[in-house]
A and B are shown apart, each in its own frame.
Chain A
Amino acid sequence: MIKFLLMVNKQGQTRLSRYYEQVELGKRASLEADVVRGCLARRKEECSFVEFKDYKLVYRQYAALFIVVGITENENELSIYELVHNFVEVLDKYFSRVSELDIMFSLDKVHIILDEMILNGHIVETNKTRILAPLLALDKMAES
């Protein structure tokens, strides 16, 4: 299962954080710092999977943002690697070429999208249209 999903920029600032496993609020900051440090130190020739403590990290870089997913031992790394890209494609579809600022200023919407994709650490939906349906309905509700 997925333990957490983070979006962090190169300066180490967290833009999105979602934990699917209990991590004490006080410990989250240091965890995020460690994770970011681990990923930023990686060179281009190195693979996208990092052994971290007693679990694994899958990370992908999109421009200045790193998306890092913490996964348990039994999860398929290549599949999660695909999932991250799927998530970014959904964001792209909604925001029309998503940028870091979009994520910052529409954090609640990104959470809605994420909740439609991942629930309790497992994939719930991967079809982009279906993922965005509730959000688009909400937007329409807000307009009227």
Chain B
Amino acid sequence: HLPSLRVQVLIRTIRTARTQAEEREMIQKECAAIRSSFREEDNTYRCRNVAKLLYMHMLGYPAHFGQLECLKLIASQKFTDKRIGYLGAMLLLDERQDVHLLMTNCIKNDLNHSTQYVQGLSLCTLGCMGSSEMCRDLAGEVEKLLKTSNSYLRKKAALCAVHVIRKVPELMEMFLPATKNLLSEKNHGVLHTSVVLLTEMCERSPDMLSHFRKLVPQLVRILKNLIMSGYSPEHDVSGISDPFLQVRILRLLRILGKGDDDSSEAMNDILAQVATNTETSKNVGNAILYETVLTIMDIKSESGLRVLAINILGRFLLNNDKNIRYVALTSLLKTVQTDHNAVQRHRSTIVDCLKDLDVSIKRRAMELSFALVNGNNIRGMMKELLYFLDSCDPDFKADCASGIFLAAEKYAPSKRWHIDTVMRVLTTAGSYVRDDSVPNLIQLITNSVEMHAYTVQRLYKALLDDISQQPLVQVASWCIGEYGDLLVSGQCEEEEPIQVSEDEVLDVLEGLLVSNLSTPVTRAYSLTAIMKLSTRFSSVNRIKKVVSIYGSSIDVELQQRAVEYNALFKKYDHMRPALLERMPIMEKTATNGPTDIAQTNGETDSTILDTKHLPSITHPARRCNYHICFCLAGIPPMTAYNKNGLKIEFTFERSNPSPNIAVITIHATNSTEADMTEFVFQAAVPKTFQLQLLSPSSNVVPALNQGSVTQVIRVLNPQKQQLRMRIKLTYTHKGSPVQDLAEVNNFPPQSWQ
């Protein structure tokens, strides 16, 4: 049996592999050799084999068959064996393997070993991967070692205790006595890990936190010694004495001082001292300052100290080191709400960071900038933010655009400025703007009555330049449809009015309809806009032609609209002007959905050309505001029942495949202040008819006409007799059941003839 390869030789061999397949082959060969060596219980090479296994494991190859071997190594007397065994345990084992339970005894023995390095190994391993059972069994040993005078062991025991507490929180109490004199240690390793242990205990238990508050003076003293003492070669990092310890102490102070006046006061001086005396030329010093700032901001510090902290952050922003700028912006973002004025002072530096090359810095600078915008600085800030929008990464554009819209809405100094800003965003980042911005912008434009001529002119000019950005195109189409008359009459006051003819405007809108760049939604917008212009322009024939062409469009949405508009030209021409009237000012409601906007118009059958699209006839579940569509089917709606606040309307459709079937949709609305629940509508017809009732949309009729229940009835009337119906209504209103019967006799003749 050939002696196994030494680890280095194996590594060298593997490196010669030229392909992944070759490497895999070598590894498999070696694994097979190792496996047989394990089977033969070969003690001499076990250590070496496990070491090789660990290397292969790191490369990503399975090594589970070595788990048991690690245990054998741990149990060996040789330190070199134990070393690899414990390392293997930490790398290969986790709690889910049963194997680790077998380790408990070994670890227990090793925790009491005569050599401190062995004790150290077992502490380290237990602290890394000990399960709850192991921790429970061995907590006593760890606690003992926490009290030893051997600093090498004490520091490791502290961190091991942290792990034990994490795994078995109930055991935290047992470590309390040992913490008594941890902070009197001179050894920095012990100090450091003790602070970590204390931190863990304070974070887990409010009782512990109160208990340890009395340590604040001691911690302050230690920190002071670190700063004031001269050069100490043992812990020096670039001229600062043990910065890692300073940082940990500052963090513990933060936890102890939070929400507690006395503790905060006790640490006030030392924080000011650290803040002013720490050398800032290297990263080390800045790491300490960073932690100091975080602590000052979290505890109850006096205002002078807080301003000092924010000024440190302001200085960080000017630092050449990008890491420091990043950290500063992160912290400022956290404090901008609570210390708004102090952060405002650094606004120009923050805005400069918008031009930084680092993506995370730019993002934070953008978020901070939006947080700092107010009525006083809106003009200046918006200039910077718009410039940023032009040049930033696409990932940012959507958020930036939304942020700009929000800021503009809150602080716009004038309507003209607001519209200009919106235009700027739409033209430079139009394709990144969020979908919900379109209705919001339309509402803004509608409500800026005196700017209509200016807005439509600017939007028209933008369309001439570029029709690829859909949100811009949609808003522009809508606007031209509404205010096209102002456009051609050259009424603009804000700037030089352009000369444009009706035909030119229609050319542009028709261009949108045929362009490949337009989405279906955009096409719908432009068709509707063209239609609206039929009451504002004189070239009605041209519009009629366009509308009729699209009556056979493949796009169902477009087709339906065209058909309906055609009908408007023909049978319902008398209604056209009223329907296509200018939209009135919209109240901004909470949900801002199109139906809410429609409600404030009052009349339910006037300008319901909402901002999205006309609902289709095939969705009777829509709100009853859309009477217009049912009108277009040819049969007028009727009120079948109206009593005690409950109103039931019938609308009609002829079912094309069989003209003997009348399809009726009931719309139930409730004008009282309480909902009508458990609403059930039943109908009966004379013997010569047949009736089919489909499922209702719901059985709650909401109060105050906030919605309706709809239900479809199909009536077969083969003998074409006059339609009559008896209906029964049951519902619960204000807790009491209500029932009513009624006869419906006023069906329009068209519904049954």
Query: Which of B189-197, B365-373, B623-631 is the contact stretch?
Result: B189-197
Task: Please report which residues of chain A, range 88-136, place their CB below 8 angstroms from some CB of chain B when the two chains form the complex.
Answer: 104-105, 107-108, 111-112, 115, 119-120, 122-127, 129-130, 134
With both chains docked as a complex, state the minimum distance between the C-beta of A22 and any C-beta of chain B, in angstroms.
6
With the chains together, A30 CA to B673 CA distance in Å? Answer: 59
Does B127 touch A at the CB level, under 8 Å? Answer: yes
- Min CB distance, A52 to chain B, in Å? 11
The CA of A108 and the CA of B85, in the complex, are separated in Å by: 11
Residues of A within 8 A of B128 (CB): 20, 119-120
Contact residue among B83, B124, B159, B291 (Cβ-Cβ distance under 8 Å from A79): B291
- Cβ–Cβ contact A130 & B11, under 8 A: no
- Please state if B189 and A125 are interface contacts (CB–CB under 8 Å): yes
Contact A111 B244 (CB under 8 A): no
B83–A47 touching, CB < 8 Å: no
Chain B residues, CB < 8 A from A40: none
- Decide: A81 near B159, CB < 8 A? Known: A111-B87, A119-B128: no
Known A47-B360, A81-B323, A127-B189: A138·B11 in contact at CB below 8 Å: no
A107 in contact with B156 (CB, 8 Å): no
A48 nearest CB neighbor, chain B only: B323
Which residues of the other chain, B, contact A64 by a CB distance below 8 angstroms?
A: none
Contact A78 B11 (CB under 8 A): no
Query: Chain B: interface secondary structure?
Result: helix
**Are the C-beta atoms of A77 and B60 separated by less than 8 Å?**
no
Q: A105-B11, A122-B193, A141-B80 are in contact. Are A76 and B287 (CB under 8 A)?
A: yes
- A119 B323 Cβ-Cβ under 8 A: no
CB pair B162 A47 closer than 8 Å:
no
Bound complex: CA A124 to CA B91 (Å): 19
Per-position binary interface string of chain B over residues 1-43, scored 1 when its CB falls under 8 Å from any chain A CB and 0 otherwise: 0000001100100000000000000000000000000000000
**Chain B: CB-nearest residue to A112:** B83
Q: With A47-B361, A142-B80 in contact, do A76 and B234 touch (Cβ < 8 Å)? A: no
Closest CB of chain A to B174's CB: distance in Å?
19
**Which residue of the partner chain, among A76, A111, A124, A141, contacts B192 with CB atoms under 8 Å?**
A124
B243 at interface, CB cutoff 8 A: yes
- Expressed in whole angstroms, the Cα–Cα distance for A20 and B166 within the complex equals 13
Contact B156 A119 (CB under 8 A): yes
C-alpha spacing A20/B359, complex, angstroms: 29
Give the number of residues in B that approach A within 8 Å (Cβ atoms): 61
Does B142 count as interface, using CB distance less than 8 angstroms?
no
Measured between beta carbons, the chain A residues less than 8 angstroms from B87 are: 108, 111-112, 115
Q: Contact check, B357 vs A43: say whether CB atoms are below 8 A apart.
A: yes
Interface stretch (choices B50-58, B381-389, B692-700, B722-730): B50-58
Given known A124-B193, A130-B189, contact A119–B55 (CB-CB < 8 A): no
Q: In the complex, what residues of A have CB within 8 A of residue B357's CB?
A: 43, 45-46
A16 touches B80 (CB 8 A): no
Q: How far is the CA of A49 from the CA of B324 in the complex (A)?
A: 10
Minimal Cβ-Cβ distance residue in B for A120: B127
Which residues does chain B contribute within 8 Å of A123, judged by CB atoms? 192-193, 196, 244, 248
Q: Does B550 contact A (CB under 8 A)?
A: no
Q: How far is the CA of A87 from the CA of B284 in the complex (A)?
A: 15
- A20 contacts which chain B residues (CB < 8 A)? 128
Which of B58, B156, B294, B325 gathers the greatest number of chain A CB atoms within 10 Å? B58
Set A17, A76, A138: member contacting B80, Cβ < 8 A: A138
A residues in contact with B262, CB < 8 Å? none
Instruction: Tell whether A47 pairs with B192 under 8 Å between CB atoms, given A16-B58, A78-B290.
Output: no
Q: Which residue from chain B places its CB closest to the CB of A128 in the assembled complex? A: B234
Cβ distance A103 to chain B, nearest Cβ, rounded Å: 11
A107 touches B58 (CB 8 A): yes
Residue pair B323, A78 in contact (C-beta under 8 Å): yes
- List of A residues within 8 angstroms of B196 by Cβ: 122-123
Given contacts A108-B54, A122-B193, A127-B235, contact A46 B358 (CB under 8 A): yes
Q: What is the CA–CA distance of A60 and B79 in the complex, to the nearest angstrom?
A: 34
Determine how close the nearest CB of chain A comes to the CB of B288; give it in whole angstroms: 8
Report how far A51 CA is from B235 CA in the complex, Å. 31
The answer to whether the Cβ of A86 comes within 8 Å of any Cβ in the partner chain is yes
| Partner of A77 from B8, B95, B327 at Cβ < 8 Å | B327
Give Cα A82–Cα B323 distance, bound, in whole angstroms: 12
B173 to chain A, nearest CB (A): 21
In the assembled complex, B242 has its CB within 8 A of some CB on chain A: yes
Contact B94 A22 (CB under 8 A): yes
Q: Are B358 and A82 in contact (CB under 8 A)?
A: no
Cβ of B611 < 8 Å from any Cβ of A?
A: no
> Is the CB of B326 closer than 8 A to any CB of chain A?
yes
Is B284's CB under 8 angstroms from A82's CB?
Answer: yes
Cβ contact of B117, chosen from A45, A48, A124, A137, cutoff 8 A: A137
Q: Enumerate chain B residues within 8 angstroms of A104, measured Cβ to Cβ.
A: 11
Contact with A along B241-252 (1 / 0, CB 8 A): 011100110010
The answer to the question of A61 belonging to the interface, with a C-beta cut-off of 8 Å to chain B, is no
Q: Which residues of chain B have C-beta atoms less than 8 A from A124's C-beta?
A: 155-156, 159, 189, 192-193
Identity of the chain B residue whose Cβ is nearest the Cβ of A142 in the assembled complex: B80
CB pairs A–B below 8 angstroms (18 shown): A48-B323, A76-B251, A77-B323, A82-B283, A86-B237, A105-B7, A105-B8, A115-B87, A119-B124, A119-B128, A119-B193, A122-B196, A124-B155, A125-B155, A126-B189, A126-B192, A126-B242, A130-B189
Q: Which 8 A-B pairs have the closest CB atoms?
A: A78-B287, A45-B357, A47-B322, A46-B358, A119-B159, A125-B189, A79-B287, A47-B326
Chain A contact residues, CB within 8 Å of chain B:
14, 16-18, 20, 22, 28-29, 43, 45-51, 76-79, 81-83, 86, 104-105, 107-108, 111-112, 115, 119-120, 122-127, 129-130, 134, 137-138, 141-142
